[in-house]
Amino acid sequence: MAIWGLGTLLFALILVGGVAGHPSCGFPAIYSFGDNNSDTGEHAAMFADVGLPNGQTFFHGPSGRYSDGRVIIDFIAEAFGFPFLSAYLDSYKTNYRHGANFALGGSAIRGEHGFSHTSFLQQVFQFAQFKTRTTALFNKLGSDAAKNQSAKSILPRPEEFRKSLFIIDIGQNDFAFDLQHTSLEDTRKQIPEMVKSLVEPISMFLNGRYEARHSVIHNIGPFGCLPYHIKSYQKKNSTCALDQYGCVKELNEAVQEFNRQLKLKIAEARKANPNATITYVDVYSAKYNLISNAKNLGFEDPMKFCCGSYNDQYVRCGEQDSNGKLIGTACNDPSKYISWDGIHYTDAANKLVAKRILNGSLSDPPVSYAEACRI
């Protein structure tokens, strides 16, 4: 999508490479799995477009993303010098040379606990099919005739799957969905099952014929700081305690409990898969840090959001009334907000989160994304 000048590429390599002297892994591609936070067009391809004002800042039109601009996985792809990852199900101008994105808005670790009835495991199966079919096609296009070369130029190289980086960011919808249908107490009881349903497919595809070897797992962000979910939860528990920034403490405690258990299970999975790398990234801290430093970073009150509104009733960003008039309008300057629509982050916020996580300072083991092949 973007044309990369030499300067940009060098900058990208420095950003992603972290400390000089540590050789990067030379990942040729990125495969992404997840939900709303990483979707680059999957939900739009399957259901309905994510309409304006979404996409207005960076893409100047709808781009299938829940943001005014880029999402975190876009900044990661940029840092590697890759084009943005095409959504697996998108049929328009797709390019899979440097990976694909299986993340789907509304998806949950456990499909029946999400808003789009697809699970993380299903995304892994989609990847398996993608790998088999693109490999077959690539091999079929074997000859070096010019026409075949242009068809091949948008396909992944079959030998590169095992050298690629797999990034997973999912789980927030499990909390959102369960809280909508049950109590916080019952939601918390589900945590071990959630962790198991996330780590088992990861072990599976790091093991067998999937040929995946290097993975990065994002933990869940501070769910209790999302303005939409704060308002919704206050209807459940009007006396719930807030922290100094206005986040719901007991919601953040619940996702932190999930994150603790996830980190432990990943340590076990690492032992069981000695030839694979699994890097755990504390995205929670990157996001919480942004919220707690909002003022210094030049943002508005982090409990405000730019697009749509939530007074008595939630007006979704991009929502139209029965006459087709836009009622979910955006603020004048999205770059002043952390939250775009009460649930998802702005381009400006995602950019800062990506910057904080890419160099490995929030990773366990503490390696940058570019070095995440080191066992």
Nearer to ligand NAG, 131 or 229 (CB): 229
H or E element in which residue 139 lies: helix 120-140
Strand ranges (DSSP E) for the chain? Answer: 30-34, 99-101, 165-169, 214-218, 277-281, 309-310, 314-315, 363-364
Closer residue to ligand NAG (CB): 46 or 331:
46
Q: CA 126 to CA 198: how far, in whole Å?
A: 16
Q: At 190, is the secondary structure helix, strand, or coil?
A: coil
DSSP 189: H
Which tokens go with 165? Answer: 């980086």
Q: Which is nearer to ligand NAG, 1 or 241 (CB)?
A: 241
What's the min distance (Å) between Cβ of 369 and ligand NAG?
Answer: 11
- Our CB check for ligand NAG shows the closer of 126 and 273 to be 273
Q: How far is the CB of 275 from ligand NAG (least distance, A)?
A: 4
Q: Least distance to ligand NAG from the beta carbon of 296, Å? A: 13
Minimum CB separation of residue 286 from ligand NAG in Å reads 9
At its nearest, how many Å lie between ligand NAG and the CB of residue 133?
A: 17
CB of 363 to ligand NAG, least distance (A): 10
Q: Using CA atoms, how far apart are residues 105 and 34, in angstroms rounded to an integer? A: 8
Neighbours of 271 (CB within 10 A): 7
Say how far apart CA 11 and CA 81 lie, in whole Å: 9
In terms of CB distance, is 153 or 275 closer to ligand NAG?
Answer: 275
Which of residues 67 and 172 has its CB atom nearest to ligand NAG in the complex? 172
- The distance of closest approach from Cβ of residue 276 to ligand NAG in the complex, given in angstroms and rounded to an integer, is 9
Write the Ramachandran bin of 99: left for phi over 0, alpha for psi from -120 to 50, otherwise beta.
left
Cα→Cα distances 215→100, 109, 339, Å? 14, 17, 28
Burial class (CB in 10 A: 0-12, 13-18, 19+), 159: exposed
Task: Note the residues at the interface with ligand NAG (CB under 6 A).
Answer: 36, 43, 105-106, 115, 141-143, 145, 147-148, 172-173, 176, 184, 237, 239-241, 250, 274-275, 343, 355-356, 359, 361
Q: How many CB atoms lie within 10 A of CB 151?
A: 13
Shortest Å distance, C-beta 3 to ligand NAG:
26
Task: Tell me the three state secondary structure of residue 296.
Answer: coil
Report the SS3 class of residue 315.
strand
Q: Which is nearer to ligand NAG, 254 or 330 (CB)?
A: 254
Instruction: Give the whole-angstrom CA distance, residue 166 versus residue 164.
Output: 7
Given the complex with ligand NAG, which of 105 and 156 has the nearer CB atom? 105
Q: What single string gives the DSSP state of each residue in 17-32?
A: H-STTS-------EEE
CB nearer to ligand NAG: pick between 50 and 167 = 50
Residue nearest to ligand NAG (CB): 145
CB of residue 110 to ligand NAG, shortest distance in Å: 14
